Amino acid sequence: MPQGLEHLTGEFDRVLAVDGSVLAELTKRRPDLRAELLGSWVPGGNVEDPFQQGPEAYRQRALQLAEMTRRVAERLARGE
Amino acid sequence: MAAVNRILFVCSGNAARSPMAAEILRSLGVTRSRLRHVVVESAGTHASDGERPFDGAIEAMEEIGARVEVAALGDYAGIPGDVEAPCDSREECAACRDHLQRLVAAVVRRLERAARGDRDGARVAPGRNRPG
């Protein structure tokens, strides 16, 4: 179930890019989405690509995302 | 500020990072009434058709399932204002233990459905051979 940018339709209330290079590409190709950096909206920094770095890298990214996403959930629950 | 109804996570291949973030947020929404209406999606700047999520991402999600839901247990156990606080007695608390097991199982089921490409599964899309 891929979802390239060309498949995105409708409006999003929040669009969060996981790192700066993704944000740059997203802003260039889909400025209408008004993307933000996940690591700017909540603390946690860039979520680096774990590709071909082994299981531990995926686990670390998952834990990082879990913490950042928990903070996203808190902000959303507050109506931000 | 207006309530958020639709949120999108974006990475490069939609094979690991953004699907993981989306799945975690969906899981957290299970126990947060204010988030249940929020539609969470993921996408990739270079995602392409016909690919699956990385095995590493699925395995990592299975591994952290319990960790993620420990945070949700704070809500479940009625600890206000601090979702980091788990139920201290969860080892002895059958309700918390059952709740945790159900939520973890739900995360794993969604990931498995997504891996098979079911439309109802998480939008854990593509890419064994591309960045996520």
**How sure is the predictor about B93, in pLDDT bands with cuts at 50, 70 and 90?**
low
ipTM surpasses cut 0.90: yes
pLDDT of residue A77: 83
| 3-state SS, one letter per residue, for A23-74 | HHHHHHHCHHHCCEEHHHHCCCCCCCCCCCCCHHHHHHHHHHHHHHHHHHHH
Q: Is B103 in CB contact (< 8 Å) with chain A?
A: no
Residues from chain A that touch B47, judged by Cβ atoms under 8 A, are 2-5
Which of the pair, B83 or A24, is modelled with greater confidence?
A: A24
Of A1, A33, A66, the CB nearest to B125: A1
Least confident of B34-43, B47-56, B108-117: B108-117
pLDDT of residue A22: 97
Which of the pair, B88 or B82, is modelled with greater confidence?
A: B88
Read off the pLDDT of each residue in B103-124 and give the average, rounded to a whole number.
51
For chain B, what is the mean pLDDT? Answer: 64
